[in-house]
Amino acid sequence: MPQLVDTTIRLLSQEPLAGKVPTGEVLRIAEILDRAGFACLEVSGGGVFDAAVRRGVESPWERIRALAARTTTPLGIALRGRFLVGSKPVSTDIVRRFVSCAAENGIDVFRLHDPLNDVSNLREAGRAIVDAGRQFHAGLVYSPGRAGEIDALVEQARKIADLGASRVLVNDPTGALLPHLTQELVERLRDATGLPVGLYVQGASGTGLANALVATRVGADLVATAVYPLALALHRVPGESLVDALHGLGRDTGVDTAPLWAAADVIDEHIGDEPVAPVAPRIAVRAAEYDLPAGLVAALDVHLRAHAAGDRLLDTLFEVGRIRAEAGWPPLAAPIGQILASQALLNVLSASRYGTVLDEFRLLVEGGYGETPVPIEAGVARAVELVTGSSPALDDDPPSADDVREAAEGLAASEEDLVLLAMFGEEAQTLLQTIRQRHSREASLLQGDVDATRAERIRELVRIVQESGVGEIEIEDGGMRVSVRRAEEVQVVSAAPLAAIAEQAEPSLPPAAPAGTVRVESPMVGVFYRSADPGSPAFVEVGDVVAAGQTLCLLEAMKLFNELKAEQDGRVRAIHVENGQPVEFGQLLFELDPLDAQPIV
C-alpha cells in the first residue's frame, strides 16, 4: 500500500511563508501531524536554510532539533546534490560534515537530487548518508522541452542502485508532468533500478492529484503531500484529498485525516485571510504555458516591473526556454532555474544576447556544476568565453573545511556553524554573530542570584518578544518584576527580497559627468556590495587606479552573486552607491577617469 510524506513544515519554513507562522506554532503543527501516520515529515531543505540565514533570527539547525524533540515520525530533508542547501557546489568534506550534522540532529530520510540530473554528483552525499545509517532517496528531475526526456531519465536511473539508494523519486518542480507520462516513468524507473518509486510533484490545475492517483495504481509506494491550505496556495498535492481518494479505491495509506484538518486550522489562524504567494492567476497561466516553475515566473515579473518593463514578460519567458536549449537542456530545479532566468533577464533588458554573462551561467557552461543532459551549443560556449575571459576565482575548487575555518576567524564554534559558513558566506556570518550577541544578552540576565526556574521564565519571555510582534512584556512573580522590551533593531546588511527591490523608488539622477568620464552602470536589478564579505576591504576606493577586468563590486540578484568588472583602465572618480543598497538596471554605480585624462582634483 502507498505511504505518504508530508511537506507542510518545510513549506512553512521557506519563502514565501517563512516568518508568517511563529516558530512555536510551527512546532505545534508538527506535533499534530506527528499523530497522522505519515511515513515521513519533510521539515527542511535548501529553501528553509536559505530563508533562515537571510532572516538572521534562528539557526536552521535549531529548528530541526526542536522538531526532532517533539515528534516520533521520521524527519526528512531535501538536498541538491553537491549544492546541498546552497547555490554553489561545496567540497566533499563539507558534504560529509553536513550529512553528519543533519543525522545527529534528527534527520532520518535524505531526499537527494542533482539539479542537472548528473547522478555522479550524488555519489559523495549518498555515501555519507549510507555511512550514517540513514535512508537515501535519490531523485530525478522531470522538466519537459526536448525529445527523449524520459529515456534520458531512465538511463540516469540505471546508475542509482550502485549509489546505495533505497528508493528512486520522480521530482517535477514545474507542474508539467501529465498522468500518462507519470505512468510510463514509474513503470520504467522501477524496472530499470529494481527500487521502489516515489513521487514529488506539483500541479496548479489538478494534475498533481491525478498524477498521484495514477502513480500509486502502477506501483509507486510513496507520494509527497501538504495540508490543504498550503496545497491550494502552493500547487501541491493535498493530503486530505489524496487519502480519501485512495481509500475509496481500496488503497489504504494508514493516514488519519483528522490531524491534517486540525493542522490546517492552526495555519488558517495565521495566514487564512492573506495571499500566500505572489502568484496571480496571470502568472500561474504563463508558468503552465511555458512549463516553468510558478515562483520563477513571479520573480521575473517583479524584476521586470521594477524598471518599467512589465510588458516584456513573455519575451523573457521565451528567452528562458531559448537559453535552456543552448545551455544543454538542464532541468529547471533550483538553483539552475534561477541562473537561466537571471541570464534571460539580462539578455532581454540589455537587448544584447550574452553581452553580459552571469558568473554562475559561465560556470554552468564550463561544466563547473556537472554535466548537462546534452552538450552546450558551441556558439554559446564561445560567446561566454569571449565576454567573460578568465575568472580564476570561479576556477578554484570549493573551499575545504579547513579553508572555511581559517577564514571564519573563530566564528565557527561547531560543525554546524562551519557548514553554514561554507555554503552561505557573509550571510551566515551575520546570522552567527546575531545569535552570539543574543546569547550574550541572555547570559547577562542570569548573573547573580536568579534561580533556574526564574531564568527559564526570562528566556521564555525573550523568545515570545523575538517571535511575535509584541513590543514589551512585563511579569511580576514572588516580589520580582521582569520587563522584556524589544530593542530598536540594528539594520543588518542582507540581500533584499525581490518584493523589496521592486518597491524601491526610482533613483534620483546623478549630476552630469565631465566629458571623458566613463560611467559604470548596473547591468541588472540587485543589491550592491563593495566587498566580498563584511570583514574584507572594499574592492576599490575613490582615487584607486583599476585595470581592465578588475572587480569593482558584487551585485546580488535572485540569490546569485555576480562580479562587475572594469571594462578599461581608469582611476575611480566617484562611487555613487552605498554598500548593501538595492540598485536598478542602468543605475550609475561608478565613474572612472581614463588614465590618459587628467584627474579632476
64-93 residue pLDDT tens? 999 999 999 999 999 999 999 988 899 999
pLDDT at 129: 96
- Do 580 and 587 touch, CB atoms closer than 8 A? no
Residue 175 C-beta-side C-alpha neighbours within 13 Å? 25
Claim to verify: residue 185 and residue 101 sit in the same structural domain: yes
Residue with cell 523608488: 505
- Do 473 and 551 touch, CB atoms closer than 8 A? no
530 versus 504: the higher-pLDDT residue is 530
- Do 597 and 516 touch, CB atoms closer than 8 A? yes
pLDDT digits (tens, 9 = 90+) for 462-490: 666 555 555 555 555 554 555 555 554 43
Is the pLDDT score of 334 beyond 90? no
Confidence band (pLDDT; 50, 70, 90) for 188?
A: very high
pLDDT at 566: 87
Indicate whether 445 belongs to any domain: no
pLDDT digits (tens, 9 = 90+) for 498-513: 333 333 333 334 444 4
Per the structure, the complete domain to which residue 390 belongs is given by 281-395
CATH code where residue 368 lies: 1.10.472
Helices 336-350 and 294-306 cross at an angle (nearest 10°) of: 30
Separation CA 579–CA 595 (nearest Å): 26
Claim to verify: residue 178 and residue 40 sit in the same structural domain: yes
CATH code where residue 520 lies: 2.40.50.100
pLDDT at 350: 87
Claim to verify: residue 264 and residue 288 sit in the same structural domain: no
From 271, 300, 318, give the residue that closes a domain: 271
Claim to verify: residue 516 and residue 588 sit in the same structural domain: yes
pLDDT digits (tens, 9 = 90+) for 268-325: 988 877 655 556 778 888 888 898 888 889 889 888 887 788 899 999 999 999 999 9
Claim to verify: residue 266 and residue 141 sit in the same structural domain: yes
SS (H, E, C) 519-566: EEECCCCEEEECCCCCCCCCCCCCCCEECCCCEEEEEEECCEEEEEEC
pLDDT at 575: 94
Separation CA 377–CA 326 (nearest Å): 5
> In whole numbers, what is the pLDDT of the chain averaged over residues?
83
388 versus 538: the higher-pLDDT residue is 538
b/e sequence 327-366, b meaning 16+ C-beta within 10 Å:
bbbbbbbbbbbbbbbbbbbbbbbeeebbebbbbbbbbbbb
Claim to verify: residue 225 and residue 365 sit in the same structural domain: no
From 244, 271, 298, give the residue that closes a domain: 271
Separation CA 400–CA 90 (nearest Å): 8
From 395, 429, 458, give the residue that closes a domain: 395
pLDDT at 513: 46
Q: What angle do CA 504, 508, 512 make, to 5 degrees?
A: 150
What is the percentage of the chain residues whose pLDDT exceeds 90?
47
CATH code where residue 113 lies: 3.20.20.70
pLDDT at 497: 39
Indicate whether 482 belongs to any domain: no
pLDDT at 69: 95
pLDDT at 511: 46
Claim to verify: residue 232 and residue 380 sit in the same structural domain: no
- Kindly state the average pLDDT of the residues 2-21: 92
Indicate whether 167 belongs to any domain: yes
- Kindly state the average pLDDT of the residues 357-376: 90
Indicate whether 455 belongs to any domain: no
pLDDT digits (tens, 9 = 90+) for 169-185: 999 988 889 999 999 99
Claim to verify: residue 257 and residue 291 sit in the same structural domain: no
- Do 167 and 198 touch, CB atoms closer than 8 A? yes
pLDDT at 536: 75
pLDDT at 469: 54
Separation CA 109–CA 40 (nearest Å): 8
Indicate whether 331 belongs to any domain: yes
Indicate whether 584 belongs to any domain: yes
Q: Return the SS3 of 328.
A: coil
Confidence band (pLDDT; 50, 70, 90) for 524?
A: confident
Separation CA 262–CA 158 (nearest Å): 42
What Rg value do the Cα atoms of the chain yield, rounded?
Answer: 25
- Do 116 and 77 touch, CB atoms closer than 8 A? no
Q: Is the pTM of this model over 0.85?
A: no
Q: What angle do CA 18, 23, 27 make, to 5 degrees?
A: 115
- Kindly state the average pLDDT of the residues 203-226: 90
User: What residues contact residue 234 under an 8 Å CB cut-off, 6+ apart?
Assistant: 11, 202, 226, 276, 277
pLDDT at 463: 62
Confidence band (pLDDT; 50, 70, 90) for 165?
A: very high
- Kindly state the average pLDDT of the residues 553-568: 81
What is the percentage of the chain residues whose pLDDT exceeds 70?
82
Separation CA 188–CA 331 (nearest Å): 20
pLDDT at 493: 37
pLDDT at 590: 94
Separation CA 390–CA 377 (nearest Å): 20
Q: Return the SS3 of 600.
A: coil
572 versus 472: the higher-pLDDT residue is 572
- Do 579 and 531 touch, CB atoms closer than 8 A? yes
Indicate whether 562 belongs to any domain: yes
pLDDT at 494: 37
Claim to verify: residue 163 and residue 83 sit in the same structural domain: yes
Claim to verify: residue 378 and residue 243 sit in the same structural domain: no
Claim to verify: residue 158 and residue 203 sit in the same structural domain: yes
Separation CA 183–CA 268 (nearest Å): 35
Tally the domains of the chain.
3
pLDDT digits (tens, 9 = 90+) for 117-161: 999 999 999 999 999 999 999 999 998 888 889 999 999 999 998
Claim to verify: residue 164 and residue 267 sit in the same structural domain: yes
What one-character DSSP code corresponds to residue 119? G
Q: Return the SS3 of 418.
A: helix
Q: Which three cell numbers stand for residue 196?
A: 521502489
The burial of 157, by beta-carbon neighbours within 10 Å (0-12 exposed, 13-18 middle, 19 or more buried), is given as buried
Indicate whether 441 belongs to any domain: no
pLDDT digits (tens, 9 = 90+) for 396-429: 678 888 888 888 777 888 899 999 999 998 888 8
